[in-house]
Chain A
C-alpha cells in the first residue's frame, strides 16, 4: 500500500488535466484486477476526464481514454491491506492537491468487484457531500465486528447514520481529504503508516456533510491473520482511542437516528456452528471473572452469570447488556483500569458470545438487520450512562 511519496515520484499523466477533476485513488491490485478496475472506471465515467492514482505500474492510456493515470512509488507494503490506512489518506490528499482535483474517491482492496454504477454514485456524491461512505450488501455472517461494535457505537456517540463506519470505499471533498490527511500526518510522522483512521467520526466532529451510497455486493480482502483476538484488539483499540480523543464532541452530540428501512438479507440456511463460541465464552467466564469484575459493574456480571448458565438453544445476550459491556470497556480503556492489551483480550470471549447469540436469533427467523438496528437503538438509549460515567467515573455504579 502506498506510503509517503514526493511529487518527484509522480509520473506525468498522459495528457493535460483540467483543474477541478475527480481523483480516483487505488490501492495495490493484481494485474488482472487492475485491468478490470480500469475497465469499470472507463464504463463509470464515459467521456469524462478522471485522474486515476495507482501505485501499480500504470500503462500508457490511449489518447482517447478519459482516464489519466498517475503512478506513485510505494515505499513500504502495508501490513493491513484489507483496510484503508493513514498512508492512503495522506497520499490521496497530496495527489489531489498536486493535480488540483475537486473531489476524491478512495477505492479499497478488491476494487475490481465494485460495479461501475456504484463507483459513479460514489463520485457523484463526493462532489456534493464532504464524506461519502459505501453501504455494502453483506450476508448475515459477514462484517460481524462492524455490526456488534463499530456501527452501533459510532451511531450512538456521533449521531451518524452510515452503516459501515470502516468502509473501504469512500468519497471525499477536498477539505475532507485535507482534514483526514492532517489526522493521518500525525500517525505517519510517528512511523505508523498502517494506522486506522475513522473518517466518519472525523467528519461528524467538525459538522461536515455526510452521505451514504448503496454500492451493492462487493468482495472484501480478508485479513491475512485469522486470529480474531489480535484483529479485534487492533480495531477496537483504534476506535476506543478515537472516541477518547473526540470526547469533547460526542458528549454534546444529541439525537436519535431514525431506523432505516430494513431490507431482507440472505437468510441463514444451515444452523450455525456456535458450540466453539459458547465453549470459549464459558471457559472465559470460569477464568476471567476476576478481570471482568475490574471493568464491569455487578449488574453486568450478573447478566453474564445468567448467560453462562443458558442452554445453547436459548442462548441470548440482551442488547442492553451488550451495550453496557461495550461502554464499560470504552470507559476502562480511557481510565486504564487494567493494561489495555489485557482489556481488549478480555473483550474477545464476550464478543464471541454476542456473535453466538446473534446467529441463534437470526437462525430462529429474526431478520439480521432488524437485530442490528435494535442493538443500535439500545446503544443510543444507554448513551447517557457512558456520558455520566465518563464525567464522573468514581460515582457509585451498581
Chain B
C-alpha cells in the first residue's frame, strides 16, 4: 500500500519535473528572444536617431515635403517616429520569435502548446485592439467636443462623452471577444450597453434640441412681426442696414 502511494507520488513528481524541464527552456527562450530583440531595437533606434539627426533629416523633410511625415509623428519629429517604429518592430519580431521558440519546445499534440500559444497570439492582438480603441475614442471625443462647441451646441460635452464611451464599449467588447472571454454574456452586455448609450444620447440630443427648435421658432416669429408691418403702419420701422463682420 505504502509502496504504491510512494510510487504514485514519485511518478507524479517525475511528470511535474518533466513538464517543468520542458516548460522552462521554452519560457527562457521566449524571454531571451524578446529581451535580445528589444535590446537590438533600442540600439537600432539610438543609431537611427543619431544618423538622422546628423543628416538633418527633419529639416530636409520639412523643406522638401508639403504634407510632412511629421504630421504623424508623436510630438517630436519624423526622426523620432522612425526610431520608434524601428524599436517596436524589433520588439514585435522578438515576440513572434519567442512564441515560435516556446512552441517548438513542446510536442505538437501538447495541451499547453494547443492552448497557450494561440492565446498568447490573441493576447497581443487584444492589446493592439485596446490601444487602437483608446486612441480612436480620445480622438473622436475631442473632435466631437470641439466641433459641437464651435457649432454652439449646449450639450457638446454629453455628446462627446457619449461618443467616447460608445467607442470604448465597442473596443472592450472586441477585446473580450478576441480573448474568447465571456462568450455570449459579453455580446449581450455589449448590446445592452451600446443600445443604452445610443438611447441616452438620443434623449439628451432630443431634449436639448427642443429648446433650440423653440428658440428658432420664436426667432422666426419675431422676425416675421418686424417684417410684416408695411410703411405707414404705427409698428413700421425702416430696416437699418446692419454691418456684417468680415473676418477676411
B243 CB contacts on chain A under 8 angstroms: 139, 141, 268, 270
Q: Contact: A291 with B142, CB < 8 Å?
A: yes
Which residues of B, 220-243, contact A by the 8 Å Cβ criterion?
A: 240, 242-243
> Known: A336-B75, A340-B71. Is A280-B142 also a contact (CB below 8 A)?
no
Considering the chains assembled together, what is the distance between the CA atoms of A83 and B246 in angstroms? 14
Q: Contact: B64 with A232, CB < 8 Å?
A: no
Which residues of A, 177-233, contact B by the 8 Å Cβ criterion?
A: 186-187, 189-190, 192, 195, 220, 222-223, 228-229, 231-232
> Looking across the interface, which residue of chain B has its beta carbon closest to that of A345?
B146
Stretch at the interface among B17-25, B90-98, B148-156, B167-175: B148-156
Size class of the A contact interface (CB-based, 8 Å): 35 or more
Least distance between A310 CB and chain B CB atoms (Å): 19
Which residues of B, 56-80, contact A by the 8 Å Cβ criterion?
A: 62-67, 70-71, 73-76
A301 within 8 A of B: no
Least distance between A54 CB and chain B CB atoms (Å): 24
Q: Contact: A144 with B66, CB < 8 Å?
A: no
Which residues of A, 137-191, contact B by the 8 Å Cβ criterion?
A: 139, 141-146, 186-187, 189-190
B1 within 8 A of A: no
Considering the chains assembled together, what is the distance between the CA atoms of A235 and B146 in angstroms? 18
A20 within 8 A of B: no
> Looking across the interface, which residue of chain B has its beta carbon closest to that of A189?
B66
A349 within 8 A of B: yes
User: Which residue among A220, A287, A288, A339 has the maximum number of chain B CB atoms within 10 Å of its CB?
Assistant: A287
Q: Contact: B240 with A186, CB < 8 Å?
A: no
Considering the chains assembled together, what is the distance between the CA atoms of A346 and B145 in angstroms? 10
A395 within 8 A of B: no
Least distance between A308 CB and chain B CB atoms (Å): 13
Least distance between A143 CB and chain B CB atoms (Å): 7
B147 CB contacts on chain A under 8 angstroms: 345
Considering the chains assembled together, what is the distance between the CA atoms of A163 and B62 in angstroms? 28
| Number of B residues with CB within 8 Å of any CB on chain A | 33
B114 within 8 A of A: no
Least distance between A206 CB and chain B CB atoms (Å): 14
Considering the chains assembled together, what is the distance between the CA atoms of A348 and B152 in angstroms? 12
Least distance between A152 CB and chain B CB atoms (Å): 15
Partner of B142, one of A139, A190, A245, A342: A342
Q: Contact: A283 with B143, CB < 8 Å?
A: no
Q: Contact: A190 with B149, CB < 8 Å?
A: no
Which residues of B, 74-116, contact A by the 8 Å Cβ criterion?
A: 74-76
A336 CB contacts on chain B under 8 angstroms: 70, 73-76
A195 CB contacts on chain B under 8 angstroms: 66
Q: Contact: A244 with B146, CB < 8 Å?
A: no
Least distance between A381 CB and chain B CB atoms (Å): 26
Q: List 16 A-B contacts (CB under 8 A).
A: A83-B248, A139-B243, A143-B247, A186-B63, A190-B65, A192-B66, A222-B246, A276-B152, A280-B152, A284-B149, A286-B157, A287-B157, A336-B73, A336-B76, A339-B142, A346-B146
3 A-B pairs closest in CB distance: A345-B146, A190-B66, A142-B246
Using a CB–CB cutoff of 8 Å, the interface residues on chain A facing chain B are 82-83, 139, 141-146, 186-187, 189-190, 192, 195, 220, 222-223, 228-229, 231-232, 235, 244-245, 268, 270, 272-273, 276, 279-280, 283-284, 286-288, 291, 335-342, 345-346, 348-349, 355
* Given A276-B152, A345-B147, 9 more pairs with CB closer than 8 A: A143-B247, A144-B246, A190-B65, A190-B66, A232-B247, A244-B62, A280-B152, A339-B142, A342-B143
